[in-house]
Amino acid sequence: MMIGGRRPEPMPGHGSGTSIGGNNNAPVQNVVGQNISHVHQSASVRGTTDVEAVRGLLVAFRADLDRHRGAVATEPALRGMTDAIDHQLALPAPETNALRQMARTLPALVLGTVVQQGGEALADALTGWLG
């Protein structure tokens, strides 16, 4: 019961559907309204990612492409790129310029697709590994 006062105004931002931090258990949606699940975050520190981490993200990204077969317009290019990255990683002395170019190109090919997070994580890992 309130005596002599009015109800406090709600804090700005509440009820907007956007929250940063806190205990948010609701599904997250991206700007076009697609539910986002299995989100992988990465932060790269140059030169600290090892080749096994890159390989692991490459395997995960390929599996993501398989799960969404036919849903990504750039799928043929992405599959070719994953093969090229895999080939380079198997070489005793990979062509770092080629890998750098792929790391720069990959985010543009996955932008706005259901495989964006995995593609960006792979690109970040490549960049981190190459230092």
Helix (H, G, I), strand (E, B) or coil at 29: strand
- Report whether 107 contacts 119 (CB < 8 A): yes
Helix (H, G, I), strand (E, B) or coil at 28: strand
Task: Kindly list the distances between the CA atom of residue 16 and the CA atoms of 9, 10, 11, 27, 97, in Å, as whole numbers in the listed order.
Answer: 15, 12, 11, 14, 45
- Report whether 85 contacts 126 (CB < 8 A): yes
Please tell me the predicted confidence (pLDDT) of residue 39.
52
Would you give the DSSP letter of residue 106? Answer: H
Task: Kindly list the distances between the CA atom of residue 20 and the CA atoms of 13, 24, 118, in Å, as whole numbers in the listed order.
Answer: 10, 8, 22
pLDDT for 2-16, tens place per residue? 565 555 555 554 444
pTM, two decimals, is 0.64
Please tell me the predicted confidence (pLDDT) of residue 49.
80
pLDDT for 32-82, tens place per residue? 555 555 555 444 444 558 899 999 999 999 999 999 999 999 999 999 999
- Report whether 102 contacts 84 (CB < 8 A): yes
